[in-house]
Amino acid sequence: MLTSAAWFAAGLAALVLGAEVMVRGGTWIAARLGISQLIVGLTVVSIGTSMPELAVGVVSAAEGNGALAVGNITGTNVVNLLLVLGLSALLLPLAIELRTLRFELPVMAVAALLLWALAADGVLSRWDGAVLAICAIVYTVVLVAAARRESAQFTTELAATSFKPRTTDDRRAVTRYVAMTLGGIVVVVIGAEWLVDAAVDMARGFGVSDAFIGLTVVAIGTSAPELVTTVVSTLRKERDIAIGNLLGSSIYNLLLILGVTCLIPAHGLALPAALVRIDIPVMVAVALVCIPIFISGRRVSRAEGGAMVLAYLCFLAFVLVTQV
């Protein structure tokens, strides 16, 4: 058991470190392309901080452990929307942009409802995965197209010339940050394999379900990049990145990450009954509850942030009581 715990800690550390390096490299590249902070948060940073979930999902699916893969995504979104967002609002009330209310928030809610519908039969098939992945692609295309229309700085000329290395130092910088991005991905994948294997061993040792481990320990662990990114963005008052990262990560977790994960096993991911009847509906409810919270005054106050953190603690207690 101690050996499994040590491998779990090593895998988690690799996930956090790899995601951080990858996000730094990807964010620099995006900045050179002239992309706005909000779009960087919604795309590059969101996908980057979701890489641990993708790595865990792919490894779990390849090993035939659908409960851990889906439980991790479900638990991670609850962590992101209640714990991480709540803690961020406790540090400093979050102002919500109008475009977030009109686009990202509805997309997140629809994505959650879509997953619930697809999982109703207890299996997420390859066809279900294809539907989710296609929706992720459509979402990204619409997001980038809207950003290019809205941003006066993001012109065709800028997109064609800003990233072109002009000096030896520029070329070295490009090489360094591209290497950081690719190296971060490699570290994340290795860390995920360590973490998943250790988590399964720990679940068997404690006699709890794989879904429980995915919903709690693995979900909190793989949410570490989102937590770090959001808290740092909040303290630096880069609020657009904080909000964009959380909503974007939640959307990509449901569509891209879970979609790709479902494409791995030939017969899809078999889901435990408790995951379909309880945990996924809870995740959907959390996504829907965010709508009135965000709309009311177009901000998340400290009081609302505290209530969200309390709600997560209640969810965690519920999972402990019902699934251990």
Structure tokens at 92: 């400093």
What phi, psi does 162 have (nearest 5°)? -65, -30
Q: Using CA atoms, how far apart are residues 34 and 28, in angstroms rounded to an integer?
A: 10
**What pLDDT does residue 112 have?**
95
Question: Residue 207, class by beta-carbon neighbours within 10 Å (0-12 exposed, 13-18 middle, 19+ buried)?
Answer: exposed
33 vs 315, more confident: 315
Model confidence at 183: pLDDT above 80 = yes
Q: How many domains does the chain have?
A: 1
Q: Using CA atoms, how far apart are residues 90 and 287, in angstroms rounded to an integer?
A: 19
Q: Using CA atoms, how far apart are residues 83 and 6, in angstroms rounded to an integer?
A: 26
Q: Which domain holds residue 168?
A: 2-323
pLDDT digits (tens, 9 = 90+) for 1-41: 678 888 888 887 887 787 677 767 766 766 676 666 566 66
pLDDT digits (tens, 9 = 90+) for 76-92: 899 888 988 888 888 88
Structure tokens at 124: 């997420």
Work out the angle at residue 218's Cα, subtended by the Cα atoms of residues 10 and 136, and round it to the nearest 5 degrees.
115
What phi, psi does 60 have (nearest 5°)? -65, -45
> DSSP letter at 124?
E
Four-point Cα dihedral 143, 114, 280, 50, nearest 10? -30
What's the pTM?
A: 0.75
Identify the CATH number of the domain in which residue 195 sits: 1.20.1420.30
